[in-house]
Amino acid sequence: MVMTICLKISSLFSQQINISRVEMMPNMPSPYEMRDWKQVALGYDSLVFDFDREGQYLPLIWWNTNPVNYPEHNSFGLKTVVGCTKFEKAEAINIIPAVIGACLVGIDKSNQNGYNWVLMCEEFFNRRPEENVYLNRFVSTSGRDWWYDTMPNIFFYQLNDFYPNTGDFSNQFITVADQWLRAVEVLGGGTTPWKVPYMNYRGFSLSTMSPGSTSWPEPESAGAIAWLLYAAYVESGEEKFRIGAELAMEFVDEWPINPSYELQMPYGAYTAARMNAEVGTNYDIEKMVNWCFDLTTYRGNWYNPWGYVDGWGAIIGNWNGYDVSGLIGELSNNEYAFLMNGFEQVGALVPLTRYDDRFARAIGKWVLNVANASRLFYPKYLPPENQDSESWSYQYDPHSYIGHEAIRDSIDGYSPYATGDAISGGWGYTNLTLYGSSHVGILGGIIDSTNVRMILKLDVLKTDFYRDDAYPTYLYYNPYVEEQVVEIDVGDGIYDLYNTVTNEFIAIGVSGKTSVLIPPDQAVQVVITPNMGNITYDLNHMLIDGVIVDYCSNQPVDNYAPRIKCLAAEPLTLNIKGSAMVYCTAEDINNDSIFYMWSSAHGTFSSDSAITQWTAPDMAGTYDLNCAVQDVKGSSDSSVITINVSDFTVVHDNTPISNVNKLYQNYPNPFNPSTTIEFSLPKAEYVELKIYNILGKEISTLVSKNLNPGNHTYRFDGRNLAGGIYYYQLTAGEYREVKKMVLIK
CA distance 682 to 659: 5
What integer pLDDT is reported at residue 658 of this predicted model? Answer: 56
CA distance 39 to 45: 10
Our measurement of the distance from residue 100's CA atom to the centroid of its chain's CA atoms, rounded to an integer in Å, reads 16
Taking residues 498-505, report their average pLDDT: 97
Q: How confident is the model at residue 402 (pLDDT cuts 50, 70, 90)?
A: very high
Q: 730: domain range? A: 662-743
Instruction: For residue 288, give the H/E element and its range.
Output: helix 285-291
Find which of 111-115, 311-315, 726-730 is predicted with most confidence, using mean pLDDT.
111-115
pTM here is 0.87
pLDDT of residue 302 exceeding 80, the answer is no
Q: Do residues 156 and 274 both lie within one domain?
A: yes
**CB 568 within 8 Å of CB 192:** yes
Q: Do residues 188 and 274 both lie within one domain?
A: yes
CA distance 229 to 139: 24
Q: The domain that contains 568 carries what CATH number?
A: 2.60.40.10
Residues β-bridged to residue 711: 680
Q: Which tens digits make up the pLDDT trace of 571-601?
A: 888 888 889 999 999 999 999 999 999 999 9
Q: Is residue 389 part of a domain?
A: no
Q: Do residues 598 and 669 both lie within one domain?
A: no
What integer pLDDT is reported at residue 659 of this predicted model? Answer: 67
Q: Do residues 573 and 543 both lie within one domain?
A: no
Q: Is residue 315 part of a domain?
A: no
More confident residue, 198 or 720: 198
CA distance 288 to 445: 25
Q: One-letter amino acid identity for 214?
A: T
Q: Which tens digits make up the pLDDT trace of 599-617?
A: 999 999 999 999 999 999 9
What integer pLDDT is reported at residue 576 of this predicted model? Answer: 87
Q: Do residues 165 and 258 both lie within one domain?
A: yes
Q: Is residue 613 part of a domain?
A: yes
Q: How confident is the model at residue 672 (pLDDT cuts 50, 70, 90)?
A: confident
pLDDT of residue 745 exceeding 80, the answer is no
CA 266, 109, 372, 449 torsion-angle sign: negative
Q: Which tens digits make up the pLDDT trace of 35-80?
A: 999 999 999 999 999 999 999 999 999 999 999 999 999 999 999 9
Q: Beta strand 456-459 with 473-478: parallel, antiparallel or unpaired?
A: antiparallel
Q: Do residues 143 and 278 both lie within one domain?
A: yes
What integer pLDDT is reported at residue 377 of this predicted model? Answer: 98
618 phi and psi angles, rounded to 5 deg: -95, 20
Percentage of the chain lying above the pLDDT 90 cut: 78
CA distance 433 to 419: 10
Q: Is residue 705 part of a domain?
A: yes
pLDDT of residue 333 exceeding 80, the answer is no
Q: Do residues 469 and 530 both lie within one domain?
A: yes
Q: Which tens digits make up the pLDDT trace of 425-478?
A: 999 999 999 999 999 999 999 999 999 999 999 999 999 999 999 999 999 999
Q: Which tens digits make up the pLDDT trace of 376-388?
A: 999 999 999 999 9
Q: Is residue 293 part of a domain?
A: no
Q: The domain that contains 496 carries what CATH number?
A: 2.60.40.1180
Q: How confident is the model at residue 652 (pLDDT cuts 50, 70, 90)?
A: very low
pLDDT, mean over the chain = 92
Last residue of a domain, one of 521, 550, 579: 550
Q: Is residue 385 part of a domain?
A: no
What integer pLDDT is reported at residue 296 of this predicted model? Answer: 81
Q: How confident is the model at residue 723 (pLDDT cuts 50, 70, 90)?
A: confident
- Among 27-36, 253-262, 295-304, the range scoring the smallest mean pLDDT is 295-304
Q: Do residues 236 and 174 both lie within one domain?
A: yes
CA distance 16 to 481: 17
**CB 606 within 8 Å of CB 625:** no
> By three-state DSSP, how is residue 643 classified?
strand
What integer pLDDT is reported at residue 87 of this predicted model? Answer: 60
Q: Catalogue the long-range contacts made by 637-641 (C-beta closer than 8 Å, 24 or more residues apart).
A: 637/561, 637/562, 637/563, 637/564, 637/586, 638/564, 639/564, 639/567, 639/584, 640/567, 641/567, 641/568, 641/569, 641/582
CA distance 333 to 575: 66
Total tally of structural domains belonging to the chain: 4
Q: The domain that contains 690 carries what CATH number?
A: 2.60.40.1930
CA 4, 355, 465, 364 torsion-angle sign: positive
Last residue of a domain, one of 286, 305, 323: 286
**CB 553 within 8 Å of CB 504:** no
**CB 692 within 8 Å of CB 739:** no
**CB 251 within 8 Å of CB 199:** yes
Percentage of the chain lying above the pLDDT 70 cut: 94
Q: Do residues 276 and 141 both lie within one domain?
A: yes
**CB 564 within 8 Å of CB 585:** yes
Q: How confident is the model at residue 711 (pLDDT cuts 50, 70, 90)?
A: confident
Taking residues 269-298, report their average pLDDT: 94
Q: Do residues 463 and 495 both lie within one domain?
A: yes
What integer pLDDT is reported at residue 422 of this predicted model? Answer: 94
Q: Is residue 190 part of a domain?
A: yes
Q: Is residue 112 part of a domain?
A: no
What integer pLDDT is reported at residue 2 of this predicted model? Answer: 34
pLDDT of residue 13 exceeding 90, the answer is no
Q: How confident is the model at residue 648 (pLDDT cuts 50, 70, 90)?
A: low
Q: Do residues 201 and 139 both lie within one domain?
A: yes
Helix, strand, coil percent values for the chain (each to nearest 5): 25, 30, 45
What integer pLDDT is reported at residue 63 of this predicted model? Answer: 96
More confident residue, 373 or 4: 373
Q: Do residues 600 and 723 both lie within one domain?
A: no
Last residue of a domain, one of 589, 611, 642: 642
Residues β-bridged to residue 417: 408
What integer pLDDT is reported at residue 421 of this predicted model? Answer: 94
